[in-house]
């Protein structure tokens, strides 16, 4: 699963990773959540012969994919992740897997180690061990709203977690290596089966997981302090109310 991530690199660094000509200026984002706009890159129209400009384009999309066939978005779940296993056959994702594969730049992502009591447990900031940016495998779908306007929407593909992450969560985003960007984005000549080998976990030592405080739990917290190391302690027990005159050292029926 990937329900929160961050992109704190500069536009120039992000453009260099994705192979884009340029990007408009944007601020560092430390706590990106579903339904918010996210930056994705996909193949653009073919360039004229002799052009040395990149054939990739950037898009801002709503994080939460809506398939084109959905009639009422109020009754449709928020698809911010897509399980890579079977995505090419699943009705919600098969069109995007065939025609609109994308890259999602990120500085890292957050995951929660469950505590077993049904509440969010210890959050972790999971980042590349050697620094820098990564690109998650993404999907884009353009949804035509009943009023006629169009909205670009997207999801991040996930896979079974590697050995370095599995103790925190059983899923992780698919990471596409730079040398595989062209293959992944090539929807003109490569079908989903031709890029299925890219939908695999990153190497176990690729990421490092840093425990952070529960500030990240709230979407409203968007500053760099949410990535500071911290351990979430147990919630304090509720104090039992006593009737006036009751004595803790004695048993009482009331």
Segment 95-138, tens digit of pLDDT: 999 999 999 999 999 999 987 666 678 999 999 999 999 999 99
Task: Please answer whether residues 127 and 75 qualify as being in contact, where contact means their C-beta atoms are separated by less than 8 angstroms.
Answer: no
DSSP states of 134-190 as a string? EEEEEEEEEEE-TTS-EEEEEEEEEEE--TTTTTT-SEEEPBPPGGGHHHHH-TTT-
Q: How many residues does the chain have?
A: 254
Q: Tell me how crowded residue 81 is: count the other CB atoms within 10 A of its CB.
A: 19
Return the CATH number of 4-227, one of 2.40.160.60, 3.40.50.261, 3.90.1680.10, 3.30.420.40.
3.90.1680.10
Phi-psi region for residue 118, left (φ > 0), alpha (ψ -120 to 50) or beta? left
Per-residue pLDDT of the chain (254 residues; tens, 9 = 90+): 799 999 999 999 999 999 998 899 999 999 999 999 999 999 987 776 766 677 899 999 999 999 999 998 988 999 999 999 999 999 999 999 999 999 999 999 999 998 766 667 899 999 999 999 999 999 999 999 888 889 999 999 999 999 999 999 999 999 999 999 999 999 999 999 999 999 999 999 999 999 999 999 999 999 999 999 988 766 545 445 544 544 443 332 22
Interatomic CA distance for residues 150 and 63, integer angstroms: 15
Nearest CA among 184, 173, 195, 156 for reference residue 43: 184
Domain range annotation of the chain: 4-227
The residues, any chain, with a CB within 8 Å of residue 214's CB and separated by 6 or more, are 120, 123, 230, 232
Task: Please answer whether residues 49 and 16 qualify as being in contact, where contact means their C-beta atoms are separated by less than 8 angstroms.
Answer: no
The residues, any chain, with a CB within 8 Å of residue 254's CB and separated by 6 or more, are 243, 246
Q: Tell me how crowded residue 39 is: count the other CB atoms within 10 A of its CB.
A: 25
Name the phi and psi angles at 197, rounded to 5: -70, -15
pTM greater than 0.85? yes
Interatomic CA distance for residues 115 and 240, integer angstroms: 24
DSSP states of 38-80 as a string? EEEEEE-SPPPTT--S-SEEEEEEEESB--TT-S-GGGS--B-
Nearest CA among 139, 204, 197, 195 for reference residue 2: 139
DSSP state of 239: P
pLDDT at 254 (0 to 100): 23
């Amino acid at each position: 699963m990937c329900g929160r991530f961050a992109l704190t690199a500069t536009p120039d660094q992000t453009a260099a990773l994705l192979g884009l000509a340029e990007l408009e200026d944007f601020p560092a984002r430390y706590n990106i959540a579903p339904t918010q706009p996210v930056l994705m890159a996909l193949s653009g129209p073919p360039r004229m012969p002799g052009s040395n400009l990149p054939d990739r384009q950037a898009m801002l999309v709503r994080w939460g994919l809506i398939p084109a066939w959905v009639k009422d978005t109020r009754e449709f779940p928020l698809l911010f992740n897509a399980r890579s296993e079977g995505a090419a056959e699943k009705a919600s994702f098969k069109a995007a897997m065939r025609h609109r594969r994308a890259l999602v730049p990120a500085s890292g992502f957050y995951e929660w180690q469950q505590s077993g009591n049904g509440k969010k447990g210890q959050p972790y900031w999971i980042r590349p061990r050697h620094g820098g940016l990564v690109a998650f495998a993404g999907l884009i779908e353009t949804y035509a709203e009943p009023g006629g306007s169009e909205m670009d929407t997207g999801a991040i593909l996930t896979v079974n977690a590697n050995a370095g992450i599995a103790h925190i969560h059983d899923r992780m985003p698919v990471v596409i290596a730079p040398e595989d960007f062209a293959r992944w984005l090539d929807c003109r000549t490569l079908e989903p089966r031709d890029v299925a080998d890219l939908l695999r976990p990153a190497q176990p030592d690729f990421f490092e997981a840093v425990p952070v405080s529960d500030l990240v739990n709230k979407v409203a917290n968007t500053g760099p302090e949410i990535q500071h190391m911290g351990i979430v302690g147990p919630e304090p027990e509720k104090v039992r109310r006593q009737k006036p005159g009751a004595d803790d050292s004695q048993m009482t029926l009331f």
